[in-house]
Amino acid sequence: MLTNQQFEKIYDEFKSLVYTLALNYVQQADDAQDIAQEVFVKIYRHYHTHNPATASLKTWIYRITINHCLDFIRRKKSKKRFGVFSSLFNAETNEPVAVAGDFYHPGIAAEDKEDLQQLFRLINSLPVNQRTALILTRIEERPQTEVAEVMNISVKAVESLLQRAKQSLQKKLDETKD
Amino acid sequence: MLTMNIENKLEKLKNILQVDAPPFLFTRIKESINTLQSQPAPVKWRLAFGAAAMLVLFLNVFAIFNSDGKMQEGNLDEVVRVMQLSTSNDFYHE
């Protein structure tokens, strides 16, 4: 079990990494906070299971964060699916029910928001592995060797995922322009 | 030209900055940990234990209601016959 001091030290070292990675997956500050909270609680409770011989602490925390992000996205999609049974219109005013803003990434400047919102819409539609490889290399700017370690695949596999991700994105981009 | 298009767009991802976590996040995390530590056992475990206890109780009640004295006596006679036990106090058969 971690002492409070040890946990605080880990938190201080990795809080930005976890929070920013969560933001890059969900692009919504409130959701990213929820995910970051879950991640650090898990780190506190399961620190004893981390084996430094198999993966560094940073890699382990990356993996936990990515898994929680993907779980969160799956749960959110599932809620939206069931939401089809609720009315889209306010019962009293008959006006469309307002949907809360889905895109709020504090790391994105206002002038880039529109372009990046569109890009993230495309990235979010990629298969999970391609999306992870793209986020880790192009946004987190991690070297491919580190990405391979986090994803527990070879460097060649990372390259292949990135290639396919770019092809998929290009295709989707062309479709939106048509 | 088309290939450059997506690459140009992906270059914009470099403009995304790393962000500091909100200052209250650590407080939320500590509260969450304290809440978990104050719980005696996870809810799922408690429900599973309760269900198992109910099942054992039900099986015992079922067994008791489905048994009667005659069956027990019958079982005893069967044991005596099979084991060739003596039902008298004589050491030697006269």
A69, A112: one domain: no
Q: How far is CA B61 from CA B9, B37, B66, in A?
A: 71, 37, 9
Residue A60, domain CATH: 1.10.1740.10
A119, A67: one domain: no
Count how many domains chain A has: 2
What's the rounded Cα separation, in Å, for the pair B9 and A116?
Answer: 8
Average pLDDT, whole number, for chain B? 83
Residue A127, domain CATH: 1.10.10.10
Of A18, A37, A170, the CB nearest to B6: A170
What's the rounded Cα separation, in Å, for the pair B4 and A173?
Answer: 12
What's the rounded Cα separation, in Å, for the pair B62 and B83?
Answer: 30
C-beta atoms surrounding A127 within 10 Å: 12
Percent of chain A with pLDDT over 90: 78
Chain B residues with at least one Cβ partner in A under 8 Å: 2-3, 5-7, 9-10, 12-22, 25-26, 28-29, 32-33, 36
Task: Report the residue of B1, B7, B13, B38 to disrupt the A interface, i.e. the one with the largest count of A CBs within 10 Å.
Answer: B13
The answer as to whether A102 is a domain residue is no
Q: Give the model confidence (pLDDT) of A141-163 as tens digits.
A: 999 999 999 999 999 999 999 99
- CB-based contact B25 A19, cutoff 8 Å: yes
**Residue A96: helix, strand or coil by DSSP?**
strand
The secondary element (H helix, E strand) that includes residue A172 is: helix A155-177
Q: What is the pLDDT of residue B65?
A: 86
pLDDT of A88 > 60? The answer is: no
A113: containing domain? 108-178
- pLDDT class of A128 with cuts at 50, 70, 90: very high
Q: Give the model confidence (pLDDT) of B9-50 as tens digits.
A: 999 999 999 999 999 999 999 999 998 878 777 788 889 999
pLDDT of A18 > 90? The answer is: yes
- pLDDT class of A66 with cuts at 50, 70, 90: very high
Q: How far is CA A101 from CA A26, A145, B22, B52, in A?
A: 12, 36, 19, 46
Whether residue A94 contacts residue B6, with contact meaning beta carbons closer than 8 Å, is answered with no
A22, A81: one domain: yes
- CB-based contact B10 A119, cutoff 8 Å: yes
> Which segments within A31-120 are labelled E, that is strand?
none
What's the rounded Cα separation, in Å, for the pair B89 and A44?
Answer: 72
The answer as to whether B53 is a domain residue is yes
Task: Report the residue of B7, B19, B20 to disrupt the A interface, i.e. the one with the largest count of A CBs within 10 Å.
Answer: B19
Count how many domains chain B has: 1
What's the rounded Cα separation, in Å, for the pair A49 and A1?
Answer: 10
Q: Measure in Å the smallest separation between the Cα of B33 and chain A Cα atoms.
A: 6
Q: What is the pLDDT of residue A38?
A: 97
- pLDDT class of A98 with cuts at 50, 70, 90: very low
Percent of chain B with pLDDT over 70: 82
* A1-13 mean pLDDT: 92
A77, A117: one domain: no
Pair of tokens at residue B55: 């099942």
Judging contacts by C-beta atoms under 8 Å, the chain A residues touching residue B23 are none
> For residues B91 and A54, which has the higher predicted lDDT (pLDDT)?
A54
Dihedral sign for Cα atoms in the order A32, A41, A16, B12:
negative
The answer as to whether B43 is a domain residue is yes
Query: Of A115, A140, A111, which Cα lies nearest the Cα of B18?
Result: A140
The answer as to whether A49 is a domain residue is yes
Q: What is the pLDDT of residue B36?
A: 83
Judging contacts by C-beta atoms under 8 Å, the chain A residues touching residue B13 are 116, 119, 138-139
